Structure 1
């Protein structure tokens, strides 16, 4: 599988990349987002959710662990596992039920849930670079590779 890298100077560019990715995603699809605090994971997630048709606010599910968005043709689940103390907590919330044939799942801090999360189709890593953000997108499945081929 391959990877591509983008440099994003502004929050608007981060939102635009999210919208571009959203246009290429079809359920079932799992996206992992990793990077330091404040690197832009939630901003990118906001672009994706809005790109899929959500018109309201997109907030970080830091305290709730998951924020659902029921859209016309897709169920979107935005996870933020930053505050997760033990991956076993995911079992108690019925984590497997979220990853269905009709869902698109965005997971921030996926390393906190390893062992209980399904494999990602793509993994994005955001990091600070030269006053902006560098985003590395890596395909982890055939479906992820197809998306990557079209996002270039």
Structure 2
């Protein structure tokens, strides 16, 4: 049974990290879901990895997508120079399914210099802070 890990847990000595998709025996998967550590998923979320294919190529040169739920995902793309940008650009896209079932997407252009690296470090720090809070809540 494929399960999306909602909260990190251990099973048979192996740690399963939050956000990952794991294949567990049916009975174990059901218990993980019942206890709130996971959610059932039909398949592993798709990840698109594009390679550079020549100068005339349109579209992003690199892209990753993370599924938050079946109705929401986040994507990050690296675009080659062109159009109104004379250097590569980075976009962050949030796609959500609205009440009528249609997908709506919002795109944010991110900085590409040292600010992008700083942003990634802040995101990592935020993740670490969330883990500290979760650990503290479990201890209480």
Give TM-score, length-normalised by structure 2: 0.31
Give TM-score, length-normalised by structure 1: 0.29
RCO (CA 8 Å, sep 6+): is it higher in 1 or 2?
1
Q: Which protein has the bigger helix share?
A: 1
